[in-house]
Amino acid sequence: MKECKEVATPTATNCLMGVDEVGQQVDSTKYRGLIDSLLYLTASRLHIQFSVCLCAMFQSNPNESHFKVAKRILKYLKGTTNVGFWYPSASNIILSGFSDSNYARCKLDRKSTNGRCHLLGSCLISWNSKKQACVAFSIAGAGYILFGHACAQII
């Protein structure tokens, strides 16, 4: 992986992992070791937590497609070794928030995944990405659930 090509995101936007994936089985010990190392790394690199937890769901029976997604996280980490947060001193302290959700993205339980971030001026102060606790029956429903969570975080 030292000579691998870097990628811009830890998970591809078209990545739909499921238990019914076709492909060759991989060594589960090797896969678990990789996932354990990535889980340890999430303590300092919180932005990979969603992708790592997505891969961790398939530790009992991994196959090539799951291993490929886990290796993509390593490719992302290789390209972000110098990335960090910078909080400049400025007089612009406007609180703003952004949120987005995808409707029924998870193939296993059809729940939506949502994400949000909050900025104070140009500084990131809070972010979150998780699967919704309930199933939304429409795109608007998924958005309303996310909006409620985002407003609660700001308050």
Q: pLDDT tens digit string along 7-46? A: 888 887 776 677 666 678 888 899 999 999 999 988 778 7
Cβ-proximal residues to 48 (8 Å cutoff; 6+ apart), any chain: 10, 38, 41, 42, 73, 76, 77
Domain termination residue (choose one: 24, 57, 83) = 83
Specify the pLDDT at position 139: 65
Q: Are residues 20 and 64 in the same domain?
A: yes
Task: Give the global pTM.
Answer: 0.61
Q: Are residues 73 and 1 in the same domain?
A: yes
Domain termination residue (choose one: 35, 57, 83) = 83
Q: Are residues 116 and 52 in the same domain?
A: no
Q: Are residues 7 and 75 in the same domain?
A: yes
Q: pLDDT tens digit string along 44-94? A: 787 888 888 888 888 888 888 889 889 999 999 998 888 776 667 766 778
Q: Are residues 4 and 60 in the same domain?
A: yes
> Could you give the residue ranges of the DSSP H alpha helices within 22-127?
28-41, 49-56, 64-79
- pLDDT at 2 > cutoff 90: no
Examine residue 90 and state whether it is found in any structural domain, yes or no. Answer: no
Examine residue 89 and state whether it is found in any structural domain, yes or no. Answer: no
> Is residue 52 within 8 Å of residue 77, measured between CB atoms?
no
Q: Are residues 42 and 73 in the same domain?
A: yes
Specify the pLDDT at position 50: 81
Q: pLDDT tens digit string along 86-120? A: 667 766 778 888 877 776 666 667 677 777 888 88
Specify the pLDDT at position 80: 85
Domain termination residue (choose one: 61, 83, 105) = 83
Specify the pLDDT at position 73: 93
Q: Are residues 5 and 64 in the same domain?
A: yes
- pLDDT at 138 > cutoff 70: no
Residue span of the structural domain in which 136 resides: 95-154
Q: Are residues 52 and 122 in the same domain?
A: no
